[in-house]
Structure 1
């Protein structure tokens, strides 16, 4: 049987101090040292799920409301496509800057940014009467989204480290589930009111409320652990700045995962209409099935993702690649759906696993910046995936282009040994290292009576 979390944490702390010590008296003090796990409150443990649920609520409404947004702005498809690029233009710089903000001000920033994102949706719905206003509103929404993305991922990684539970994977599962639910809700609201303002008002109500709940749960908790602020010894990576190269490598591998996942999400409905002459309602089943499978896979694989990240990445890569091949060669619509669902099960667990693995050894005081580095690089893949697929589809046809998406996950499989090499080089700590935050108490002094 393995150690309990508390026992494992104690063993780790003692071993570190013994290696660092230089004399018998130091080892004696270690023998009497007591340790305790810095367990977060119930509210803090719930905060990542609340944050990702709010983020998913916003994006579910956003995706379902794009036809209304285009109609209100009265723009062509080409103009609307260009306007949507401002999401990325706002998100990328915001993602780069947010990590430093969190490291300076603490985890409560996540709730503030999430609430602001809900307000940005209202701004878009109210000010998109002209093309310039549409682009400006989308730019602000993109900035709010990118900042919120980094903030809630930092929050999830911090709570994961302090609890020793697979919070990152489960939080991403909550996001996928909320996207699916809020998309359906926005569709129902559109049928009832046919109003962009009503849709984004509902999204703002949910997102702001959940943002305030995150603020309440984290208002007294900074990004770094109390032990770091007091100068105590904690079992984290030495130094105050993360090592950038391993983080950028993990972000680049994450870009492959995001590119394949977003390509499926964006093009699977087109496959059914163009490749199998499906009706629009039937074609809508594909992205819904993809999102539902992603949520279920993230929930189901959360524990193994946390305990065996390399194995999870290998398994997810194989499943995703298999899904790409099945989709590309499916002779019938049901088999194409099987391929899409298979790909969803594989691709959905890749980025959460990489993020959890990459952030696990990062100390609390620099986790925000580390999250910014990984997420920003990976987000480039998220943006490029649908465009990459479109180029392939133009050259080979929509169905055959899914082979190109399978090739991305095959390349990801080939990069897994790089992660192991980084670990061996001590740039990325072993995933077996205890994920707890430990506070140490000074040893009691036992005086020997003088003769």
Structure 2
């Protein structure tokens, strides 16, 4: 085992996670502009945005079969290149269905890349015996932040969507190419060889994702999606803060998630996963209840940042547990836990909107976070 080379591989894989986070977050700040340029109604924009989920969820489930026959490193390289290079297509669409088709392509690429990079991370952990998944997901969080800030900057300087997306694509393709030789040439890990050798047996016996793992994944990403989609509105509309504070709270949350995930492996090496999940559940619910009771914009903004600072390791723990529950089928189990988590991430916040119309956003927000924390606490035991 050559640790310097292993660390270099981990750094290249971290860059792939960064690319995955940066692509769609670069598009998010330009959504209003594209909506106006294409003269889309709110419902038409909703149809287009659903294209991301329509492309990603099937891809998440199909990628496990691809990885039965292919190494995860080359799949990461090819998909990251396609994902990055497809972003400028948004700038040249001229209607609803073209935009929906491009977003489906981006969603499918994101889904394939999500499973391939997590499978590569799991294989690295199994090969070296060192935790790395949380740190890798920190790269994803930093990519999300970089893409969003880049979008804000491009809008500020008056760059067109095409100019902005071409610049982003060039940078992300270059970043992928730098790490491509090592990712491409790394031999198949023992875990990946075992997965390929047991694919027929695995298909005969249906793989099941343990309920406790699914609950941890759903709960963690549900809270993350809730904060991402609703906290700015809560701070600005319901607590009467300026829009700048709502935007600052989201930026603070992204930075905190990056820090939390980057430090998550060290925390999990020192403390048991069960202890970490219990602590996350208790701290997050206490923070949000306190912020809701005080009901001051600045206090809630700080609360959002502190939630991000402790929430980061939850989803990486779910992926690690899924891989341990079926060691020979890490890709398939990663696909399942990612699919259920992603559905919760996308589907949870809209449900919150319907409930908030009835009882108000502040109560709904606090109750939903408490529900997610309850799920984390109850499912903290490792079934593997």
CA distance, structure 2, for counterparts of residue 394 and residue 281 of structure 1 = 24
Structure 2 counterpart of 1:111, from 77, 85, 103: 77
Q: Cα–Cα, structure 1 residues 251 and 227, in superposed 2: closer, same or farther, change >3 Å? A: closer
Match for residue 287 of structure 2? 323
CA distance 1:193–1:334, shift in 2 (3 Å): closer
Structure 1 spans left out of the alignment, 5+ residues: 1-36, 423-427, 429-451
Q: 2:314 aligns with which of 347, 350, 355?
A: 350
Choose 94-103 or 319-328, whichever is displaced more: 319-328
Whether 1:282 aligns to 2:245 is yes
2:362 paired residue number = 399
2:87 aligns with one of 102, 116, 121: 121
Pick closer, same or farther for the CA change 1:53–1:414 going to 2, 3 Å: closer
Q: Which residue of 2 aligns with 1:201?
A: 166
TM-score (normalised: structure 1): 0.77
Give the structure 1 partner of residue 374 of structure 2.
411
Question: What corresponds to 1:63 in structure 2?
Answer: 28
Residue by residue over 1:289-318, the C-alpha shift from the partner in whole angstroms, topping out at 9 and shown as x without a partner, is: 111111111223321224522211111111
Residue of structure 2 equivalent to 1:25: none
What is the CA-CA distance between 1:319 and the residue it aligns to? 1.9
- Pick from 271, 278, 284: which aligns with 1:314? 278
In structure 2, the partner of 1:168 is 133
Map of 2:350 onto structure 1 = 387
Structure 1: how far apart are the matches of 2:2 and 2:318? 25
Shift of 1:223: 4.4
CA-based RMSD:
2.6
State yes or no: 1:186 paired with 2:134: no
Contact 2:285–2:369, Cα closer than 8 Å, also in 1: yes
Residue by residue over 1:242-270, the C-alpha shift from the partner in whole angstroms, topping out at 9 and shown as x without a partner, is 97324564134301211111111111110
Rounded to whole Å, the distance in 2 between the matches of 1:97 and 1:326 is: 43
Matched ranges for 1:9-158 at <5 A: 37=1, 41-107=6-72, 108-127=74-93, 129-158=94-123
TM-score when normalising by structure 2: 0.90
**Is the Cα–Cα contact under 8 Å of residues 176 and 291 in structure 1 kept in the other structure?**
yes
Match of 2:225 among 254, 262, 282: 262
Aligned CA distance change for structure 1 residues 374 and 38 (closer, same or farther; 3 Å): farther
Secondary structure of 2:350's aligned partner: helix
Q: Distance between the aligned counterparts of 1:352 and 1:101, measured in 2? A: 22
Residue aligning to 1:13? none
User: What residue ranges of structure 2 are gaps of 5+ in the alignment?
Assistant: none
Cα distance per residue 1:298-356 (max 9 Å; x no partner): 22332122452221111111122223313332321121113212322233221112212
How far is the alpha carbon of 1:221 from its aligned partner? 2.8
Note closer, same or farther for the CA distance 1:48–1:360 as it changes in structure 2 (3 Å cut): farther
Cα offset, 1:228, TM superposition: 4.6
Larger Rg: 1
Which one is further off, 158-167 or 48-57?
158-167
Mapped to 1, the partners of 2:259 and 2:207 lie a distance apart of 33
Higher helix proportion: 2
The 2-side partners of 1:147 and 1:287 are apart by: 27
Give the paired residue count.
377
| 2:261 is equivalent to residue 298 of structure 1 | yes
